[in-house]
Every structure is written in structure tokens, then in C-alpha cells.
Structure 1
Amino acid sequence: MVKTYRDEGIVVRTHKLGEHDRIITLLTKNHGKVRAVAKGVRRTKSRFGAKMEPFSHADILFYRGRTLDVVTQVESIHAYGAEIAWDFDRYTCGAVLLETADKLVLEEGIPDTAQYRLLHGALHSLANNEHRPELIVAAYLLRAMAIAGFELSTRDCASCGADGPHDAFSIPAGGTVCMACRPPGSAAPSRAAIGLLDSLLAGDWDGADEQTEGTRHETKSLASAHAQWHLEHRIKSLSHI
């Protein structure tokens, strides 16, 4: 087996290891999730300390270790943290993206190029202030869950497939539901919020940023509830948005 390999990846999480090292969790283009040791990265004179912070997009050379791989070389591609960290709204929304990606991609070493590209695109959009941050989060959550096999129904009935639009909405059922299939406790979101969910899921941003604050908030809340239901975990960063 080749002892080294190179890949580009996005740092989604870090935690301390010993006095000077860190364990870096990345979502990579060709190797899925990778956990690797960055030795000496917490030293003041570290060669690549700043390049291994959350939000960093880098080209990395890894050495295969017995339990954890080791980062041996780093070349920065995009320092997304520099554009995101100074703005509280964008930073907290970016934290949701990283946390969700970390929770969603479970198996290490298994390629998940679609999730990688989606995260990369969402961070690029956030860093360049292309859309409202809360809508970038909503779009990312919807599309990430769809890639994972949990696509939200925004038109037809999620239970029987009856043609929509429908006014009832059930997270456990998988989205909009007709009156015949409506479970007890179903929500009744606005048609505008359902329409915005549908647009964001399809990647259609035309007019999305001009929706009312109430519609944007409702859309983000529905997308968040959908993601957390299927992840079976609370996305802690959402509480700060």
C-alpha cells in the first residue's frame, strides 16, 4: 500500500491532541471524511497552523498511520474563514454547514464527492456574500439531505404521491401531505414558504433573497427540522442563528 496520498479537503472540525498537536477532521474530495493528526500545529511558528482551521479549503499531503493519518504538507486553496469569521451571521451559518457535514458523512475513507462539492459551494457562496446567510443554510440542509436519500417533498403528497400543492406539512411523513394522509399534529406552513423550499431544493435562487423575513425564517425552520429529524441529532449551531 502506498504510504502517502494527496487530496483537497475542507476542515470541518479540530480538537487538541497533547500540548502542540491537533486532530483535524476534513471532508475531502476523493477520500470522504478523513481524521488526521497535524503535528506541532499549535506552535507559534507552525508551518501550516492557520491553514488547518475550520472553513479552510486546502490541498493536503497525508501519510497513512496505524490509527490516524498524519498531515505532512498543506497548500491553501481558499481561506474561507477570513471572509466568514468577521461577520457573526455568516460565521454562525457557516458553523451549521460544517457541523451538518460532519454529522452527515459518517464513514471515514469512503468517497462522497457530491457532499463535498455541495459543502464547498455553500461555503463559497457564504464567503462571497452571494445570498442571505439563512437561505444558504436552508438550501444546504435541503440538498445535503436529498443527496443522502432524504429528499423533502414540496409538491406532491409525501405519503401517497397525490398531486399537489398541499397545505399540510409533516416532517416525519417527509414533507407536504394531502388531507387524506395528514397525520395528527401536522403543520400548515404558508404557501410562500413551501414555494421557497421547493426553489432552494432545486437550486433556483430567482427572487429567493427578496422574500419577506417571515417567509425566510419559516423556510429555514422547516429545512432545519427536516435535517435534524433524519440526522437523529440536534444541530447545535442552529441555536445561534
Structure 2
Amino acid sequence: MTLYRDEGIVLRTQKLGEADRIVTVLTRRTGRIRAAAKGVRKTKSRFGARLEPFTHVDLQLYERRSLDLITQAETLRPYGERLVTDYPRYTAGTAMLETAEKLTAEEGEPALRQFLLLVGGLRTLAERGHDPRLVLDAFLLRSLSVAGWAPAIDECCGCGDRGGLRGFAIAAGGAVCARCRRPGAATPAPPTFALMLALLRGDWEYADGSEPRHRVECSGLVAAYLQWHLEHGIRSLRHVEPEDGPSRPTGMDFTTSDTGGDPGRDTPDTTDRERV
């Protein structure tokens, strides 16, 4: 067996047997990994709360044929302590964890930029300097950009025209001008486009001063665009999406499917029961 170390953010946990867990971690060097933690659900576990979602940890692992084995875990930053007591920030953080896992589809593939985005997003949430939904939307837009799916915001995705943007077509790739607009495209207000661009570029002065109706419209577009390109819903987004209102773009469905439960917490798992 090969021993190695890496740091990462715990994305979620799954119950395994009577006292063990499978821990999914987005790491700095290795990318997304799933590893077994022996006896972690026992009250006297030496890991304690170090392997809970939102925790930035330094891990020591043994490489094995199936699941690697966590042998040591040290907490670097316990972001969960600052988030679990604030429901809007907790739900925004949960959506970040789920999105980060979905956007790192290949297990064991390096994903440094996605890891750094997640660390930065959780840190910004914990510092409570900005509205949690703005932080989430900024994280989603930047994560899509890292994955190669950045939406066109300041130019038409059809012809490249930078003026006269009149719609947002998810399937086409983002903003569209009057000539390229097709039936079914949303018609966001110009300040909504400006807000999306500010979040993508990190212009927090503009984002923090934006109007609530444009934030609602922006959130709906970002959520719909993300889930279109992932080809399935982000379950945790249903807890943070804005209520139906006049600022929601018409003609589009932003709801997500949900089979119940919190994707960040323990969920039953039997696929690796025989391999650990």
C-alpha cells in the first residue's frame, strides 16, 4: 500500500456498515476522491467532527484497489461551524458542495482551480460580508467558466454582437441579440446582465448595490443554465432558489427534482460494502 497526503474540502459522507463512512473529498492535488473512514461514527472516534461536510482538512491516506483508507485527518478550517447556524448561508454552501462534486466528474483527476474556487466561496460565505445568494451565484458562474461552460453575458452567443442584447437563451449559450433571439428565450432586464457580469468578474461593489428584483432574475438564470449543462438537477438548489415572483424570467422552469434528504449528509451506500 502507498501512503500519501493531501488537503481538501469534505463534500459529503455516506454510511458504510455499522460504524464506518465513505467520505467524498475535493482535494488540492488529487481531485475528487472517495475514501473509507473506519469507525468514524463511533462516539470515541479519533476523527471526531473532522470529516464532516464543509471542513477543510489535511488527510493522510493509504492507496488501495477500491476505496483508499483515511488514516489521519487534521482540521485546517472548520467552515461548517460558521455556516450551520445561518440557514441561508448553510443552504448556499450545500449547493456549492454539490455543484463542485458534479463539475468534477472524473474521480482522481486533478481539479485545482475548482478546489480553489470552493475554498474561496466557503471562506466568503463564512466571513458574512456579502449576501449568500450573491456568493453562490458568483461561485456557480465561475465554476461553469472553469469547466468550459461560461455563459455569454456581454456579447451575443450567436453573432458576437456586443450591443442590443435582448434575451438569454440557455440552450444557445447565454445572451442573444434581437436578431438571434428565438422563442423560449428569457428576457432579463439590462441590469441583470450587468449583475451576472459583475459576479463573474468579482465586482462586489456593483453586486452588493444591485436591486433585489435583479438578484432574483440573475439567480433563476444561473440555476437554469447550470442544470441544463449538467443535464440533471442540483437537489440542494431547491432550498435556496427565490420564491416565484414578478422578477422571475417567464417561460422557463427553474425547479429541480429531489429524492429527499440533504446531499451533504450521510446517505445509505451499498455499492462499496463488499470492497472496503
Alignment of 1:74-223 (within 5 A): 74-223=73-222
The CA deviation at 1:65 is: 1.4
Counterpart for residue 12 of structure 2 = 13
- Residue 165 of structure 1: how far off its partner (Å): 4.6
Cα shift at 1:191: 0.8
Secondary structure of the corresponding residue to residue 89 of structure 2: helix
Instruction: List structure 1 runs of 4+ shifted beyond 2 angstroms.
Output: none
CA contact (8 A) 2:195 2:206 kept: no
Normalised by the size of structure 1, how large is the TM-score? 0.97
For residues 124-159 of structure 1, give each alpha carbon's deviation from its aligned partner in whole angstroms, at most 9, with x where no partner exists.
000111210000110011110010000111111111
SS of the aligned residue for 1:90 comes to helix
**Secondary structure, counterpart of 2:221 in structure 1:** helix
Unaligned runs of 5+ in 2: 241-276
d(CA) in 2 for partners of 1:188, 1:147: 26
Please say which of residues 52-61 and 164-173 is displaced more in the overlay.
164-173
- The size of the alignment, in residue pairs, is 240
Q: Which has the higher helix share?
A: 1
**1 or 2 for the larger relative contact order (CA 8 Å, sep ≥6)?**
2
Give unpaired runs (5+ residues) of structure 1: none
After superposing the two structures, state which structure 1 stretch, 211-220 or 115-124, moved more.
Answer: 211-220
- Match of 2:4, SS state, is strand
SS of the residue 1:207 aligns to: helix
Residue 103 of structure 1 deviates from its aligned partner by: 0.9
Does the aligned pair in 2 maintain the 1:14–1:25 contact within 8 Å?
Answer: yes
Residue identity over aligned pairs, in percent, reads 49
Which amino acid is 2:26 matched to? L
In the TM superposition, residue 164 of structure 1 has moved relative to its aligned partner by 2.4
User: Which residue does the alignment assign to 2:274?
Assistant: none
Contact 1:58 / 1:74 at 8 angstroms: preserved in 2? yes
Amino acid at match of 1:124: R
Which amino acid in the other structure matches residue 95 of structure 2?
V
Match of 2:205, SS state, is coil
Q: How far off is 1:66 after superposition? A: 1.6
Aligned to 2:59: 60
Q: How far, CA to CA, are the matches of 1:74 and 1:57 in structure 2?
A: 10
Distance 2:232 2:140 in 1: 14
| Aligned mates of 1:165, 1:80 — CA distance in 2 | 43
209-218 or 143-152: which moved more? 209-218
Instruction: Provide the alpha-carbon RMSD of the alignment.
Output: 1.0
